[in-house]
Structure 1
Amino acid sequence: MQWQTNLPLIAILRGVMPDEVLAHVSAVIDAGFDAVEIPLNSPEWEKSVPAIVDAYGDKALIGAGTVLQPEQVERLAQMGCKLIVTPNINPEVIRRAVGYGMTVYPGCATASEAFTALDAGAQALKIFPSSAFGPDYIKALKAVLPSDVPVFAVGGVTPENLAQWIDAGCAGAGLGSDLYRAGQSIERTAQQAVAFVKAYREAVK
């Protein structure tokens, strides 16, 4: 399996408002990101998601996170989303999204959950919350997973520690509060996005 973007870092803009979402997405894309996730527990996500699909869908893999129900997948497919991220393993959500040709990147913590997700068609796995398990856990988990499955660390990943997750065998990471916190300035988002891209490039030299 091949992760579908050039940079395997996913910008998670949880809590972003519709009137500011385009500016923040522009900041991360300008820094080099080409995957963006708007969690569905963000305010008025029904406005934010289609806005960024329309504006940046040809430049980045745009999608939604905290997707819990198959019905949400239906709505997101109608909006043109290409990426579905979940915090848990719901095989029907995964199958529905795969049926629409979406990239599905579900959250799991154990080998049982990981294989359930892969059996349902997931193309990548999100180990969540990574900070609670640590790089050694991911390294051990990867030993039993198919070697071609991209594994992403999510939860507690910073520019300073990104390299340790890459060294543990992660293809990349999903970046939440250390990249974007609700209400922060565009300048802060841009600064953190640049720091993460730099950290990733140094980690894979």
Structure 2
Amino acid sequence: MGFSWDLFQETPIVGIVRNLTAEAVIRILPIYREAGLTTIEITLNTPGAEDLIRYAIDHALEGLNIGAGTVCTEADLDRALAAGAQFIVTPILNETVIQRCVERGIPVFPGAFTPSEIYKAWSLGAPMVKLFPAATLGPGYIKEVKAPLNQIKLLPTGGVSLDNMSDFRKAGADGLGIGGQLFDKELIAHRDWTGLRAHFTTFKERL
């Protein structure tokens, strides 16, 4: 089963799992889905990332899009695809990675910052472009970029939080990439799974 755009549109948040323990990720996956969140990426610089992606695909796939993040090189892409990732996210613009994903029909959300980079990523076939780092220039930048490039779907990532997510959406963001703000380290450290589910739900409600 591949990436589901319907699931993504249901809750257009890409949750970014970075440097969490395998134990925590395994516990979080069902809570994430129960809270109504649908799309999650596991970054390749997380210890055991490939095993976690495989586990998620095998055990938690129902109702979830499972992807790999921090894919910078072709070698990274090979690792991600071998693990079964349904979509690919990069922090940078690597043309070969984009082209290989497009050829294989795997959605890729490449990182870009300037209008030229954003347009380049889209012209290579990326269905959505990760605007990174987003909070540096804020929601106003999305609005400015979207004026001439309204045909390009943008996924602002980096510094997106409960406080600014609605502003990014109003500015024209087609989705939001959220990491540390979403996966609250205090709640996870204390194994407060009920609190984490409520925390996740708050993000869904703010969309």
TM-score, normalised with respect to structure 1: 0.89
Q: CA deviation at 1:188?
A: 4.4
Q: Which residue of 1 aligns with 2:66?
A: 62
Alpha-carbon displacement from aligned partner over 1:112-141 (angstroms, at most 9, x marks no partner): 111111122111011111110111111111
Counterparts of 1:1-205 in structure 2, within 5 Å, are 3-4=5-6, 5=8, 6-145=10-149, 147-181=150-184, 184=189, 185=191, 186-200=193-207
Which string of whole-angstrom CA distances, capped at 9 and with x for unpartnered residues, describes residues 87-128 of structure 1? 110011111122222111111110111111112211101111
* Whole-angstrom CA distance in 2 between matches of 1:78 and 1:43: 16
| Matches of 1:181 and 1:85, distance apart in 2 | 21
Determine the C-alpha separation between the residues in 2 that align with 1:188 and 1:99.
42
Post-superposition Cα deviations, 1:141-178, rounded to whole Å, max 9, x if no partner, equal 11121x34321121111122211001100012011111
CA distance in 2, matches of 1:149, 1:111: 11
The alpha carbon displacement at 1:181 in A equals 4.6
Whichever residue aligns with residue 7 of structure 1, its letter is T
Unmatched runs of 5 consecutive residues or more in structure 2: none
Q: How many residues align?
A: 198
Q: Is the 8 A contact 1:138 1:169 kept in 2?
A: yes
Larger RCO (alpha carbons 8 Å, 6+ apart): 1
Please name the residue that 1:203 is paired with: none
Fraction of identical pairs, as percent: 32
Kindly report the root-mean-square deviation, in angstroms, between the aligned alpha carbons of the 2 structures: 1.8
SS of the residue corresponding to residue 110 of structure 2 reads: strand
Secondary structure in 1 aligned to 2:135? helix
Which segment is superposed worse, 76-85 or 132-141? 76-85
With the length of structure 2 as denominator, give the TM-score of the two structures.
Answer: 0.89
Residues in 2 aligned to 1:50 and 1:16: alpha-carbon distance in whole angstroms: 16
Structure 1: runs of 5 or more not aligned:
201-205
